[in-house]
Structure 1
Amino acid sequence: MLLIKNNTFEKNYTYNMQTINIHLADDHQILIDGIKTLLNTIPGFSIVGTSLNGTNIYEEVTQNNADVLVLDISMPEKDGIQVLKEFSKKGFPCKVIILSSYDDLKIVKEVMKLGASGYLTKQCASESIIEAIQVITMGQEYFCKTVQNKIFNTATKDNPKLKSVPQVIHPTLTEREIEIIILISLEYSGKEISEQLFISTNTVETHRKNIMKKIKAKNTISIVKYALKHKLIKS
């Protein structure tokens, strides 16, 4: 069993050891080599292929039975958006994490609508990619911290009931779960949370169940009381 050494992630996620086949696609060999070196240190991770352009990625990941494709959005010949559109048309052969130099939420929203499971900026890739692969393999969406914060801040912009989020609320709550608590307490529906955070309704429901278990909440009212008690929102 593997535990990621991240203050929040380590306390909340365990991953049963099984091989995860990973395909890396980027037009810079040096970046591919760096990611390979990092991922090869993780038990259960197997790099099964690489691509320097986007032309034949669908065929490549299908043939090598990749579970996860780490895809540069700015690939030559066929970029990441075009690859996702091809996947969407033919059927996704694997889960996809987008790598990008930009944290533009319009791009994030577009790739997630096209079926990507995660989004990392290249600046945070080295510290987030291991966690990202594990989270999306467990069926959830993943954003690096910079992008996640930007999404949440945009979703709650100018809300008069919002307070700044303390660094420590509950020792086992993740940052994402704290965001979900806040949005529930601000009367966002599950569908609205899904749309605002670019995650699936199933992911929202999974977070809600985990939150209720962790804070021993019986219903939505209990979640709101928790948010008020810990000053996550204004009364």
Structure 2
Amino acid sequence: MKKIKVHIADDHQLLIDGIEAVLSSEENIEVVGSSLNGEDVLNWFASKEADILILDINMPKVDGIAVLQSFLNNNFQQKVIVLSSYDDTKLIKEVLKIGASGFLAKKCAGEHIVEAINEVYNGKQYFSESIKDKLLSTFTNNFSSVDAMPRESSFFSSLTPREIEVLQLICKQFNSKEISSALNISTNTVETHRKNLINKLKVKNVVGLAIYAIKNNIV
């Protein structure tokens, strides 16, 4: 079995030790390094390899945002899961745009870190439920009406008028039955439009739509 190689970066050794303890019982995950500051992270990855970096945002010497930006600028292929004591929408949007594949609040890191690593390693994005709620809230608030949607954006270039209408109602967190009633179409047609939206924009679900919108500066 190929093991997922993980590097942990946090300015508290206690948290690093705690995550290592959680991961030590996972047969498919191996912790190959750790760093207490951002400068050491960049130096480590310049000559060594890992599949995933678990990265604290508030790091000394070089902060987590700068580390992420350096990864992006240098085309590093490692996936990054951000850890933070803060989960405000502005921070979440910033790390998504720079290239993070996951975001975990430190208070729930121990509970979700294994799932996050496996999901991200397999090409998915991972956000705890509270983070997903914030992303959906951002998406809904910014797309509160059809007129507010950036129709000229490439985000909509491949969508039909009906798909845009369905998307608007999804953004308002309408379920399929409610969309069916609002647009006077069958629930099967709603589900077809929903699948088409997900396929065209290459996302997994409505959270994926929100993440796509954030990464492409739609919201």
Q: Which stretch has the larger CA shift, 17-26 or 59-68? A: 59-68
Counterpart contact for 1:97–1:116, Cα < 8 Å? yes
Residue in 1 that maps onto 2:106: 122
State the alpha-carbon separation in 1 of the partners of residues 27 and 207 from structure 2: 33
2:89 pairs with one of 105, 108, 112: 105
Counterpart contact for 1:97–1:119, Cα < 8 Å? yes
**TM-score with structure 1 setting the length:** 0.63
Relative distance call for 1:109 and 1:69 in structure 2 (3 A) is same
TM-fit CA distance, 1:140 = 1.3
Which structure 2 residues correspond to residues 38-187 of structure 1 after superposition, within 5 A? Answer: 38-157=22-141, 162=172, 184=194
**1:198 to 2:211 alignment:** yes
TM-fit CA distance, 1:64 = 3.1
Q: Deviations over 1:87-120 (max 9, x none)?
A: 1111214111000111111111111111111111
**1:25 to 2:9 alignment:** yes
Larger Rg: 2
TM-fit CA distance, 1:152 = 1.3
- Please list every run of 5 or more consecutive structure 1 residues that lacks an aligned counterpart in the other structure: 1-16, 166-180, 201-235
State the alpha-carbon separation in 2 of the partners of residues 71 and 57 from structure 1: 9
Counterpart contact for 1:62–1:93, Cα < 8 Å? no
TM-fit CA distance, 1:196 = 5.0
Counterpart contact for 1:70–1:99, Cα < 8 Å? yes
Counterpart contact for 1:32–1:50, Cα < 8 Å? yes
AA in 1 matched with 2:211: F
Paired residue secondary structure (2:60): coil
Counterpart contact for 2:89–2:138, Cα < 8 Å? no
Q: Deviations over 1:16-52 (max 9, x none)?
A: x420110000000000000000011111111100000
RMSD: 3.1
**TM-score with structure 2 setting the length:** 0.67
1:35 pairs with one of 14, 19, 41: 19
- Please list every run of 5 or more consecutive structure 2 residues that lacks an aligned counterpart in the other structure: 146-167, 176-190, 214-219
Residue in 1 that maps onto 2:182: none
Counterpart contact for 1:48–1:64, Cα < 8 Å? no
Counterpart contact for 1:73–1:81, Cα < 8 Å? yes
AA in 2 matched with 1:153: S
State the alpha-carbon separation in 2 of the partners of residues 45 and 86 from structure 1: 25
Counterpart contact for 2:10–2:35, Cα < 8 Å? yes
**More helix by percentage:** 2
